[in-house]
Amino acid sequence: MENDRGNGQEMTKKIRVAVLFGGRSAEHEVSLQSAKSIIEAIDREKYEVVPIAIDKTGQWYLNDASRLLLNAEDPKQIKLNNGSRNAVALVPAPAEKQEQLISLTKQVPVDPIDVIFPVLHGTYGEDGTVQGLLKLANIPFVGPSVLGSAVGMDKDVTKRLLRDAGIPIAKFLVFERWKRDQIRFADVKEQLGLPMFVKPANLGSSVGVSKVKRKEDFDQALAEAFRFDTKILIEEGIDGREIECSVLGNEQPIVSIPGEITPTHEFYSYDAKYIDEKGAALQIPANLPPDKVSAVQDLAVRAFKALCLEGMARVDCFLDKNGQFFVNELNTIPGFTKISMYPKLWEASGIPYSELIDRLIQLAIGRWEREQQLHTSREG
């Protein structure tokens, strides 16, 4: 029986969805938590789930969903199961064959995949690398394509594009590792003031991020950021509220109601997001007057379009004491656990978690179908 990739006809076979997770990123463990939630919540009447884990060395594995994780309920200890695993590789193949996955363990093709849901937070997954591979393999995939993923991951490029689109952002400076010895605290303080935030240019989940309030903390903050990237940002600290919106769609994206994050830590750090259950208070919807709700929603969609995004993104903003919104960053594969802000905002906006997964998959298939109509040569 042939698979039908979402052309509107009645499906005679479940859509095979590969959930791709783990990876070489410093956000590996966050990815495990997100994938676990998606695998548990996806509509099994409509979709057949194919879990594909990527370990910290970059090897891809196919395994049964029930055996993928160890310590799955403990975010401090969660990790991939190193038991019996079927190593696989993704290879480009003619569309009519659809033999994109090859088992390295068994030396045979794996049943064709209809669509891939990447849940790879951070580098080597959220930054356009995997998206390019999936494009070459001609497989539909959830989330932004190559360009949007790449520019959304690089905070320097993100901020320049937002600035050129007339979207308010915090003041920032960019430094590369080879100029490390030229970074002077006094110079940075003069331009940005205190406090300031030091962060890797290409990473998420607040990994490698430090809040600097005094000179004594500056060098350590630089060292921490440069551990994870060869390019770092130093941003002014904005004294204000953290407001977030979720965006969903391709050509005509829709936006959720806004939510607010109030960290109990010094800032919304990795531990506050994923380790400490009391690391932050989430208020959904955010306590904002109607005009501010409309303003931040409009800003979120404008930012989404400015970065050429598709599928999904969480847009993080600040609302300062003067009532001015600033876009901080966009997350193109946001945290996707059931308690993560992206799905929680949609749930409060009328789209339950399972339906959100379904919509994202259908958006991926719809985009792929449109792209198949494009000519790749002058013939025909």
314 closest CA partner among 322, 324, 323, 303? 303
Residue 250 inside a domain? The answer is yes
Q: Does the pLDDT value for residue 8 go beyond 50?
A: no
What's the average model confidence in pLDDT over 56-79? 81
Both 317 and 221 in one domain: the answer is: no
CA atoms within 13 A on the CB side of 292: 20
Residue spans of alpha helices (H) in 42-123:
none
Q: Compute the Cα dihedral for 313, 43, 116, 51 and give only its sign.
A: positive
Q: What is the pLDDT of residue 86?
A: 87
Both 128 and 176 in one domain: the answer is: no
CA atoms within 13 A on the CB side of 357: 27
Residue 377 inside a domain? The answer is no
Residue of higher predicted confidence among 96 and 244: 244
Grade residue 4 by pLDDT with cuts at 50, 70 and 90.
Answer: very low
Residue 117 inside a domain? The answer is yes
Residue of higher predicted confidence among 16 and 274: 16
The CATH number given to whatever domain includes residue 201 is 3.30.1490.20
pTM of the full structure? 0.90
Residue 203 inside a domain? The answer is yes
Give 264-286 pLDDT, tens digit per residue.
655 554 555 554 456 678 899 99
Give 103-140 pLDDT, tens digit per residue.
888 888 888 899 999 999 988 999 999 999 999 999 99
Both 132 and 52 in one domain: the answer is: yes
Give 294-332 pLDDT, tens digit per residue.
999 999 999 999 999 999 999 999 999 999 999 999 999
Q: How many domains does the chain have?
A: 3
356 closest CA partner among 34, 30, 52? 34
Both 103 and 34 in one domain: the answer is: yes
Q: Report the alpha-carbon distance of residue 62 to residue 60 in Å, rounded.
A: 7
Helix 155-164 vs helix 146-153: crossing angle, to nearest 10: 100
Tokens for 106?
A: 């068994």
What residue numbers bound the domain in which 310 lies? 152-167+239-332
Both 271 and 328 in one domain: the answer is: yes
- Cα angle 201-207-208, degrees, rounded to a multiple of 5: 65
